Structure 1
């Protein structure tokens, strides 16, 4: 590890665009089948998490106008300063854990130290269960980078099956051979996704533009600059520092695939269509006029997992995707999502946004702020997906029974929706500004109702599975 490494433009943009009202911090929770002690957790994280350099480095040179900041070793480094042991207040139930996670989302990380924290949470399950919460600043890496980190945390990385092709071994793990997952599911990388068969995530595919895509790039660039403002709803408004967290019960991935087959649609289409229905249900339940569409930003991965390495980083762009919330029919919402945006168009739009963020991250604050203002009031929320292991994995000898993460929102958006698939199930995480959605279970219930309705429409025997 060199003493100093320049922070990339994109990584620095994600570090700097955070505000007290919208922190750019990714939050996650692992549930373990078995209790784990504080000392054992610290030892595990020091040995496995901290072999990724970013977790031992801090950002130096912050606030310099004309010179780029850099990653530098945080010395002295003590993993225990990053790991806290906490207990949920009585009653230690799901609601208490949701309040705890929401509280984590509301607090900034200390930029004088490496930009991560972990919490051993007592009371988050039965006596023989544990929960470990993580907070990681987005400047360290995107969702796929953090999936790569997870590969380094589990007991047997070679046995961790992912719905994408070749995954490099984590740093410092020479004993592990290169891991290859089942070939049954397509990659979610924009560079090599097959939109006809992709059923593993919400990345919309389409590689970076080339000369043959020049016309598409010009149209996408013009549309990015001229697209209409987002309709006014109660899910948009002034943001505050307080955040709320929630999640759904797991939904069987096979159920989602069955719905997709009934509508000649991918899992991506079904999930986005169900989200459109959930937005519709929430707004109708608040006695609001439902607009024809709401727009969300969807991260599109621009670097295949095979090209990932220990430097982690952010290698994605954002596509603006309209959700047909005004469409009254269940199936028509899915078909509208399916027919709207091609993989090529999504990839080009995301690549343009990636270039814009890279340029902004290498520019003074005033330029970055000007750039961000160009995209204010363009979306109601962000929807992201990272496909997780297809079979159970273990952490420190304990099976990980469930995984959830919450994406930070961007600029003026107050709603973040994260989808993670694990061991045959899909679960939705909802991160919300308390001013706009004080109880995320409202949205979670709406999404579940939409999935149940779609499942019953496709096959009555699937409802509520």
Structure 2
């Protein structure tokens, strides 16, 4: 039995019927590599064999009496793989549009909290005989890094190799009864004022240092300073999904020619795609869009507990800059400041403060926020969430099937109904975009601009000198 960290539990409290807090992944599989050929029952049996003894796949939530503390994980003694791995088929012709429509529908369905918080949908009938697996895992049980680690229990370097991550040896802990959980909750509640006192002084010092950085022009972009767009309002439970691919060598070529980083290039490409999309719709703000970029602190966190070990930084995407080369260089400078500022903040700061998220009041506040449509009344916190996740540099095999593409999809929030995640995989970058369907009605129009924006940037860094940047719109 393990208590959820405050940050893990916060993703439970943030969830509403419209604001679902699971993360998804679309794996496009070449099943011709599977020993003995593809068979759904065989695939499900292999998944069952690989995950049955992995705690993260076989644990469920248990609430603490009276909601006095965060929930705990307990082993699901009635774990049944048939309740987690499901089978579907695409309607003919089974192409990209049919796949993204089905994936959007599945992404908009909540996970059953009475069972382990994950499921997989095996989708047959995709183009050229391929099979697609849509995985869903609740953010309370994974972040980007831990989610990749969990999938590695099902992946290998060849069709016949053992999984990359072996089954862990975990001692079976006894389960606490209601009285013990209640007692622990009372003690945890009583200790919160002491923990709060320990956080106040470092947080006050951080504010002072941030003000100093802002005056010196070296602070990261501030939240609540984003321009309003059509995807910055109250969201619904409907989801739309778009997928695209880019060549990682092209990204590296831009990085080398511009003296920037891969992450700088990815953000600049996103900025170019968003600029083009909004400009064509007549919605391009004069100010740059502001993105929240999740950052893993797994290597620097002092905490051993909890699945989520993340922080976040804010950065401008340069959507106010027309010239792609100037945009990536501007982003590189901003990102260096943002990283320096972020590194000056304790790696556990977000996790420490999340411990004070009260189960009842937090959930009620989120529902009131959505019901009153407050996201449309206050200044925009951020325009979107964008992540760049390093993936495997070599081809991987999912229970024997070669992974041809892996598209990650994160959650969307009230006030920021658009999420972009980019993952590298064996020399390619796969772009997954998920949005509230009403906020971004044609998400495919946006995602297909990513390869175009990369091509423009590649042309800009390889073009002969002398053309000169066109500059900012408001210059």
TM-score range, shorter chain: 0.7 to 0.9
Counterpart secondary structure, 2:340? helix
Give the corresponding residue for 2:153: 152
CA contact (8 A) 1:12 1:139 kept: yes
Could you list the per-position Cα deviations for residues 94-144 of structure 1 after superposition, in whole angstroms to 9, with x for gaps in the alignment? Answer: 1010011101111111111111111111112322x2221111111111010
By how many angstroms is 1:389 displaced? 0.6
By how many angstroms is 1:398 displaced? 2.2
Which residue, 2, 18, 21 being the options, matches 2:18? 21
Which residue, 29, 46, 68 being the options, matches 1:32? 29
Could you list the per-position Cα deviations for residues 409-459 of structure 1 after superposition, in whole angstroms to 9, with x for gaps in the alignment? Answer: 234310000101000111211001111112211111222221111112223
Mapped partners of 1:308, 1:87: distance in 2: 43
Which residue, 64, 84, 88 being the options, matches 2:90? 88
> Is 2:363 aligned against 1:330?
no
By how many angstroms is 1:367 displaced? 4.8
In terms of fraction of residues, the more helix-rich structure is: 2
Give the corresponding residue for 2:334: 340
Structural mapping, 1:48-447, within 5 Å: 48-61=50-63, 64-127=66-129, 129-156=130-157, 169-172=165-168, 216=209, 227-248=223-244, 250-304=245-299, 313-341=307-335, 342=337, 343-348=339-344, 351=347, 354-355=350-351, 358-361=354-357, 363-367=358-362, 377-447=380-450
Quote the RMSD (CA, aligned, Å): 3.4
Mapped partners of 1:275, 1:63: distance in 2: 45
Q: TM-score, normalised by structure 1?
A: 0.80
Counterpart secondary structure, 1:64? helix
Mapped partners of 2:100, 2:349: distance in 1: 32
Mapped partners of 2:209, 2:117: distance in 1: 38
CA gap of 1:443–1:289, structure 2 versus 1, over 3 A, is: closer
Counterpart secondary structure, 2:67? coil
Give the corresponding residue for 1:46: 48
Mapped partners of 1:12, 1:26: distance in 2: 15
Give the corresponding residue for 2:471: none
CA contact (8 A) 1:6 1:68 kept: yes
By how many angstroms is 1:210 displaced? 12
Counterpart secondary structure, 1:273? helix
Mapped partners of 1:278, 1:232: distance in 2: 17
By how many angstroms is 1:44 displaced? 1.8
Counterpart secondary structure, 2:153? helix
Could you list the per-position Cα deviations for residues 165-191 of structure 1 after superposition, in whole angstroms to 9, with x for gaps in the alignment? Answer: xxx9544389xxxxxxxxxxxxxxxxx
Count of residues in correspondence between the two structures: 412
CA gap of 1:390–1:216, structure 2 versus 1, over 3 A, is: farther
Could you list the per-position Cα deviations for residues 320-354 of structure 1 after superposition, in whole angstroms to 9, with x for gaps in the alignment? Answer: 21222111211111111111133221334584762
Counterpart secondary structure, 2:8? helix
Could you list the per-position Cα deviations for residues 212-251 of structure 1 after superposition, in whole angstroms to 9, with x for gaps in the alignment? Answer: 9896467689989974442122232231111101111x21
CA contact (8 A) 1:318 1:350 kept: no
Counterpart secondary structure, 1:58? strand
Mapped partners of 2:302, 2:223: distance in 1: 34
CA gap of 1:459–1:45, structure 2 versus 1, over 3 A, is: same
Q: Unaligned 5+ residue runs, structure 1?
A: 161-167, 175-208
CA contact (8 A) 1:230 1:380 kept: yes
CA gap of 1:367–1:262, structure 2 versus 1, over 3 A, is: same
CA contact (8 A) 1:220 1:349 kept: no
Q: TM-score, normalised by structure 2?
A: 0.78
Q: Unaligned 5+ residue runs, structure 2?
A: 33-37, 171-201, 465-475
Mapped partners of 1:220, 1:440: distance in 2: 37
Counterpart secondary structure, 1:95? helix
By how many angstroms is 1:68 displaced? 2.5
Mean CA deviation greater in 87-96 or 418-427:
87-96
